[in-house]
Amino acid sequence: MTAHRFDPTILREYDIRGIVGKTLHPADARAIGRAFGTMVARGGGKTVALGYDGRQSSPSLQEACVEGLRAAGVDVVRIGLCATPMLYFAVYELNADGGIMITGSHNPPDYNGFKMMMGKKPFYGADIQALGQLSAMGDVATGAGGLTERSVLEAYAARVVRDARPGRKLKVVWDTGHGAVGVSIRDVISRLPGEHTVLYERVDGTFPAHHPDPTVEANLEDLKAEVRKQGADLGIAFDGDGDRIGAIDGQGRILWGDQLLAIWARDVLKERPGATIIADVKASQVLFDEIAAAGGTPLMYKTGHSLIKVKMAELGSPLAGEMSGHVFFADRWYGFDDALYAGVRLLDIVASSPRSLAEMRDALPQLVNTPELRFDCDEDRKFKVVDEVKARLQKAGATFSDVDGVRVSTPDGWWLLRASNTQAVLVARCEARDAAGLDRLKDAVKAALAASGVAMPDNPSAGH
């Protein structure tokens, strides 16, 4: 194979992702397969599991990726159309040496990409850059790998519900948003007690009902309406590839990622007292306080699903999560983010409790906060701005954490400024005890940015 150079914008921190027909083409998929297969083979591996989501471009990218993997001498096991967590599961179930999921995740329909595992570990950061360099140099293996097809749907569905405890029967509405969880949702809920309704089950990569991102409130309106209409106990939503969860209580109110994590953490800590529970730097202080109150050890860590998975393994943490809805159970599960499994664990807690999910939500301290505020900042400037703000905070003797950007504590609460690892944007968030305090925190962020010549727009794009 001749050398192949990728558009530099597609080699991201946690995955490979681009716009089909513009920055990402079948030739790229073939080169990704060839280079990844080379890395597997040179590491002593032989087999790669491969899955793809419901986007219209996914089948053709899959075919090209298979060609590349086999040309590197690697045997490919195709598991077909599925959500990303089912591909992760397949790597364990089939004892594969690696895995590739072709998915555009929660991005618009014209995007697609690749999430990878090397062995049982995330493949990210320097690994992705090394893949790009191998391809650019044409330093790839040659061989003739085999091709087989295996369905893991039955094994996956049985494993997801295996540890569910008997409890009261619930009425649940699920919104798969025409995403890839539509493949497995019936096989899972048919094994659960209670009454279940599924919205937008048909997999359709054009996402005709709504965009498949459960952290954006507008995408949850249909789920809210159906929960209210049915008088359901709760509703659960997924992103396009099923590794992020959203939830609605019986009153139609959203529980954000950190509120859900507080509920899961209490449950996990009953059996794992003292365990370290990890959350990203965007999470509410309420969460860290709740973990400590439940007898756990809270750890604030960097945003990024690959980074968190690695930290969990390092510390033996049984549970971690992000505001974005990625939730990682290593308690009775594999440590990867699976929103369907997380949803079943949520049902399990509610079904075995005398309290409703709404009551659990109301029992959490109610603070006021902004959503995640995102605003454009040039790629070559975004990290420098954060460094400049940090230097001024140090000079002023401010109290802050710099585990990921700066999270500044004040008598009002806290504010966060960090650079996105995946986009040319700065991200801010503020949380306070009351509205006046929140306004003061927002003013502090604006002032910190203004000192670096950055104007925070009055209405930055928001997303949790």
Catalytic residue among 105, 135, 184, 324: 105
420 is catalytic: no
Q: Is 354 exposed, middle or buried (0-12, 13-18, 19+ CB in 10 A)?
A: exposed
Asked if residue 311 lies in contact with residue 225, where contact means CB atoms within 8 angstroms, the answer is no
Alpha-helical regions (H) of 101-152: 126-137
DSSP3 helix / strand / coil % (the chain, rounded to 5):
40, 25, 40
Task: Give the end-to-end CA distance of the chain in Å, rounded to a whole number.
Answer: 43
Asked if residue 131 lies in contact with residue 115, where contact means CB atoms within 8 angstroms, the answer is no
- Closest among 128, 139, 142 to 3, alpha carbons compared: 139
Instruction: Kindly provide the residue ranges of all beta strands, DSSP E only, lying in 164-239, ordered along the sequence.
Output: 171-175, 195-199, 234-238
Distance CA 315, CA 35 (A): 31
Asked if residue 398 lies in contact with residue 444, where contact means CB atoms within 8 angstroms, the answer is no
Residue with the two structure tokens 């910190």: 448
Task: Indicate which residues carry an active-site annotation.
Answer: 105
